[in-house]
Amino acid sequence: MTQQRSHWKSSTGFILAAAGSAVGVGNLWKFPYITWENNGGAFVLIYLLCIPLIGLPIMMAEFIIGRHTQKSAVPALTQLGATTFGGDRWKIVGWVGVIAAAVILSYIAVIAGWAVALFVQCVDWSLTGYTAPSENAFGDFLANTSLQFVFAFFFSAATVVIVCKGVVDGIERANRILMPGLFVMIMFLVCYAVTMDGFGEAIGFLFNPRFDALSDQAILEALGHAFFSLSLGMSIMITYGSYLKRSDSIPRAATIIVGLDTLVALSACVIMYSILFTFPELQSSVSKSATGMLFTTLPPLFYAKMSGGVILGPIFYLLIMFAALSSSISLLEVVVALLIDRFSFSRTRATLVSGTLVFILTVLVVLSLDPANGLSRFQLFGTDESGLFYQLNQLFFRGKAGFFNFLDHLVANWLLPFGGLCITLFTGWFLDKKLCVEELGFIGQDGKPQIWFTGFRVIIRFIAPLAIMYVLYTVITGAADFT
């Protein structure tokens, strides 16, 4: 039985959905943290160069593949690869993307569960009055496995329900609510930040480049994060592109999506740094972890120190929930689309099966957060401290223990750069040039490719693959770690 392929109802709906995928915990949780660790200014500048020069063309490449074939990643790469070097082996890239998406979803559901928990806590504080939490309240919550299950399950179920309703009635409609809501909340918080004493210093920290404070590793980290932040390298944009109508402009849509993602990342920094520079005594807590900043330092601050915290607290955590939900929807859709396109599942069946499989991984992630559970010491090649297996742990995971760290490391250091590299090589060297020109609409009045296309091609053939290869090289030699 062949089903008619769904298409986004409007270009705006598509842009909101793809921006929804890109804008997520990476923007609100990871980016402010790594920017802080890398001393702001110069790191931000490098990131702002990586985004249009490498991220944007790769996003366009993924849209070309999806839109041209009107298929999700695995069948799309099978079809396009069939007549070129490597044949249908290119579909492996699609499979790697689907696996990476399922893995990311399994732990984003846990992080989003924390945001749900804090949202509930903040609403309670706002309504019934604030009581200072104990010193290790968040740590206790992490070790409380059953509570974590409840919140992660609630979040995963919301994702499943939305994806089950389909591309237009589920994904597009949800993003039409989530994304404008997210932008309004973030602008509200930015306006509040402007009134804080630390705002000026925050802007200086973010936009005043000090190159002496920049390490070599920072450049790689900026590139690695650009991938994660734009949801590249894991077939998401191929899948979303496959629901795109011929009449929509790929370069225009990609530019807006990339712009919105960057705007949210910078706004999150402005908000968090304005708070940090207003209350400098808190700065030391950031160095411990991004999680600490977001989930331990901020909540009491809203209530104990900031006027308006009663409203700001719940809004802040609702914002994180919205951002995580719109990303998770895209991650689940990649797996669902594969089951529908490749194995002819109905959407309902595909969603339930993939949702259940991913939740099994989520359960393992939750268990691994409890220090009393063996999974918190998990290492792929065993826990032996010497010999070959120890070396393999070092090579693949820098010897990190714990199932959560293992998954995050596997995806950020290996699967995403691998996926991104293959997509650039495939599009730059093996995909028909005429097809790319037509999909991008970069055709001049004389019928020849415009200069824009030359730029795209140079990046996708040379600059982007070389940059990613360098990233992979540093991962292999242990010079960089993107988690």
Instruction: Classify the C-alpha dihedral 110-111-112-114 as positive or negative.
Output: positive
Closest by CA position to 54, among listed 204, 190, 248, 254: 254
Residue 268 near residue 202, CB atoms below 8 Å: no
Between 103 and 164, whose beta carbon lies closer to ligand PFF?
Answer: 103
DSSP lists the bridge partners of residue 443 as 449
Distance, in Å, from the CA atom of 351 to the CA atom of 336, rounded to the nearest integer, reads 6
Helix 173-194 vs helix 309-343: angle between axes, to the nearest 10 degrees?
150
Closest by CA position to 424, among listed 457, 460, 456, 389: 460
Residue 250 near residue 64, CB atoms below 8 Å: yes
Neighbour count for residue 407 (Cβ, 10 Å): 21
Tell me the closest approach of the beta carbon of residue 416 to ligand PFF, in angstroms.
8
- Residues in contact with 258: Cβ distance below 8 Å, sequence separation at least 6, in sequence order: 22, 51, 52, 55, 56, 59, 230
Between 24 and 314, whose beta carbon lies closer to ligand PFF?
Answer: 24
Among residues 20, 24, 66, 113, the one that binds ligand PFF under rule CB under 6 A: 24
Distance, in Å, from the CA atom of 113 to the CA atom of 295, rounded to the nearest integer, reads 12
Q: How big is the chain, counted in residues?
A: 483
Among residues 25, 74, 112, 315, the one that binds ligand PFF under rule CB under 6 A: 25
How many Å from the N-terminal Cα to the C-terminal Cα in the chain? 43
Between 293 and 301, whose beta carbon lies closer to ligand PFF?
Answer: 293
Q: Which stretch binds ligand PFF (CB under 6 A): 3-11, 20-28, 38-46, 75-83?
A: 20-28
Q: Which stretch binds ligand PFF (CB under 6 A): 73-81, 323-331, 345-353, 385-393?
A: 323-331
Tell me the closest approach of the beta carbon of residue 46 to ligand PFF, in angstroms.
18
The answer to whether 20 contacts ligand PFF (rule: CB under 6 A) is no
Cα angle for residues 461, 464, 470 (degrees, 5° grid):
120
Tell me the closest approach of the beta carbon of residue 99 to ligand PFF, in angstroms.
12
Between 419 and 449, whose beta carbon lies closer to ligand PFF?
Answer: 419
The answer to whether 231 contacts ligand PFF (rule: CB under 6 A) is yes
The answer to whether 242 contacts ligand PFF (rule: CB under 6 A) is no
Among residues 14, 27, 34, 427, the one that binds ligand PFF under rule CB under 6 A: 27
Between 185 and 301, whose beta carbon lies closer to ligand PFF?
Answer: 185
Tell me the closest approach of the beta carbon of residue 159 to ligand PFF, in angstroms.
12
Between 25 and 244, whose beta carbon lies closer to ligand PFF?
Answer: 25
Between 33 and 303, whose beta carbon lies closer to ligand PFF?
Answer: 33
The residue type found at 171 is: I
The answer to whether 159 contacts ligand PFF (rule: CB under 6 A) is no
Between 289 and 391, whose beta carbon lies closer to ligand PFF?
Answer: 289
Q: Which stretch binds ligand PFF (CB under 6 A): 18-26, 54-62, 198-206, 296-304?
A: 18-26
Q: Which stretch binds ligand PFF (CB under 6 A): 19-27, 73-81, 144-152, 311-319?
A: 19-27
Q: What is the DSSP string of 146-187?
A: HHHHHHHHHHHHHHHHHHHT-IIIIIIHHHHHHHHHHHHHHH
Closest by CA position to 15, among listed 165, 163, 161, 176: 176
Between 324 and 367, whose beta carbon lies closer to ligand PFF?
Answer: 324
Q: What is the DSSP string of 294-325?
A: IIIIHHHHHHHT-TTHHHHHHHHHHHHHHHHH
Between 22 and 196, whose beta carbon lies closer to ligand PFF?
Answer: 22
Size of interface with ligand PFF, in residues (CB under 6 A): 16
Q: Which stretch binds ligand PFF (CB under 6 A): 172-180, 197-205, 324-332, 468-476?
A: 324-332
Tell me the closest approach of the beta carbon of residue 23 to ligand PFF, in angstroms.
7
Residue 349 token pair: 């069946």
The answer to whether 415 contacts ligand PFF (rule: CB under 6 A) is no
Helix 451-458 vs helix 433-440: angle between axes, to the nearest 10 degrees?
120
Among residues 76, 80, 234, 268, the one that binds ligand PFF under rule CB under 6 A: 234
Distance, in Å, from the CA atom of 483 to the CA atom of 471, rounded to the nearest integer, reads 13
Contact map string, positions 327 to 356, toward ligand PFF, x by CB under 6 A = x--xx-------------------------
Residue at token pair 């069948």: 75
Contact map string, positions 88 to 117, toward ligand PFF, x by CB under 6 A = -------------x--x-------------
Distance, in Å, from the CA atom of 314 to the CA atom of 309, rounded to the nearest integer, reads 8
Contact map string, positions 209 to 228, toward ligand PFF, x by CB under 6 A = -------------------x
Among residues 16, 19, 22, 115, the one that binds ligand PFF under rule CB under 6 A: 22
List contacts with ligand PFF (CB under 6 A). Answer: 21-22, 24-27, 101, 104, 228-229, 231, 234, 236, 327, 330-331
